[in-house]
A and B are shown apart, each in its own frame.
Chain A
Amino acid sequence: MAMTAPFFKYGMFGDEASLVLAFLIGIGFGFFLERAGFGSARKLVSQFYLNDLAVFKVMFTAIVTAMLGVTYLGWIGWLDLSLVYLVPTYLLPQVVGGLLLGVGFVVGGYCPGTSVAATATGRVDGLVYVLGIFAGMFAFAELYPFLKGFYLSGSGEALTIPGTFGLPYGLVVFAVVLMAVGGFYGAGLLEKKFAAAGE
């Protein structure tokens, strides 16, 4: 019997074990978020004042790492990529949601994951941010009947960039890597230029 991944989708273990794994994976997630300094609002927000582009560097390095991993593991047939959950695309709400998230990011200083990390390291503003998320989510749920139409506008299909534009998967992967590395180089230049302005 060939050992293929994702293990859970092949019934290697059950729901309970997957919850334990969730916890362990979460530990890794939180650990590296804090390692990168993302438990601090000032560090995070520096991205948007161009002093410290760690957010861009960490995020895109993570994306490239996982993307390459998935590509190679899928290519050798060990990982069945079609079984990895792909969030359906609802373009308009996601675009608007992204803008709101970006605004919330600089106003509040965190995003949901980092706000939990910040709370874990004692940041009061992180905790207040978390409370804000609860309040906002609850409000969203209450307003859902009015927002439902917009919320559901879009195809709701699981779409990938290579699939949508008819490009070879590997080509897009390579393009993303180039863009990321180029971005890292540019980020270094920007930091040198604007670092003086920050604290």
Chain B
Amino acid sequence: MNPYLAGIGLGLVLLASFVLVGRGLGATGAFNSVIAWVVGGVAPDHARGNEFIAGYLGDGGASPLKSWLLFEVVGLFAGAMFSGLLAGRAKVMTEKGPRVSVRTRLAMAFAGGVLMAFGAALARGCTSGQALTGGALLNLGSWAFMMMVFAGAYAVAYFVRWQWR
């Protein structure tokens, strides 16, 4: 799809979120809710003792799974699957360049996820929550974050090009 049209579509979804619910999109928080739920179930005292996780457990009244972002991310999954199936882009495969093995690629994917998690935790969001949402609202921290994401990516891209070329 024309990237500009896809962007307009995305922007309208974001706008709808602002208008209906008074908040923007996101993804990172959903992961935290799941972690809080798992840790809270397996080791509740440890979860309560950990300030970061406890924040997602709230006052214990409701399950951490009853989180707006988690429901949104589940919807994300569904919407993406639908679009992929519609376009014939749905396929079980590993995205990688020709010169790297699947195993290496998956290891890098995992490492990337770990790095991303730290980044998103520190920044209070990721490209969805901070860049898109905060960007549209002219949030100062979000714009700074966004520029840094591009900076970091461009800086390191050269050194991992073997993964993609």
Contact = CB atoms under 8 A, between A and B. Distances in A.
Bound together:
yes
B20 to A, nearest CB: 5
Interface size range on B against A: 35 or more
A103 B93 contact: no
B27 to A, nearest CB: 4
Contact of B17 (A25, A119, A142): A25
Contact residues on A (Cβ < 8 Å of other chain), bracket:
35 or more
A6 B137 CA distance: 14
Interface string B78-98: 111111110101111111110
Contacts of B9: 28, 31-32, 35
Contacts of A33: 10, 76, 79-80, 83
Nearest to B113: A132
Nearest to A110: B112
A103 B113 contact: no
A91 B51 CA distance: 21
Interface string A120-159: 1111111011111111111111101101101100100011
A100 B112 contact: no
Given A89-B139, A105-B149, A148-B51, A100 B111 contact: no
Consensus secondary structure, chain B interface: helix
A199 B130 CA distance: 31
DSSP class of A's interface residues: helix, strand, loop or mixed? helix
A145 B51 CA distance: 8
A189 interface: no
Among A102, A150, A159: residue with most chain B CB under 10 A:
A102
Residue among A57, A73, A83, A116 having the largest count of chain B Cβ atoms under 10 Å? A116
Given A49-B161, A101-B119, A108 B109 contact: yes
A94 to B, nearest CB: 4
Given A66-B11, A69-B11, A95-B148, A6 B20 contact: yes
Interface string B109-134: 11111111111111111111111111
Given A102-B148, A105-B149, A31 B113 contact: no
Contact of A8 (B22, B89, B118): B22
A111 B128 contact: yes
Contacts of A139: 114, 117-118
27 contacts: A5-B18, A6-B21, A21-B20, A22-B68, A22-B71, A23-B75, A27-B75, A29-B79, A31-B79, A33-B79, A62-B136, A65-B136, A94-B124, A98-B149, A99-B149, A101-B120, A103-B153, A107-B156, A108-B116, A111-B127, A112-B126, A114-B127, A117-B77, A124-B93, A128-B109, A139-B118, A148-B51
Interface of A: 5-9, 18-37, 39-42, 45, 47-49, 54, 57-67, 69-70, 73, 79, 83-91, 93-126, 128-142, 144-145, 147-148, 150-151, 154, 158-164, 169, 172-173, 176, 184, 199
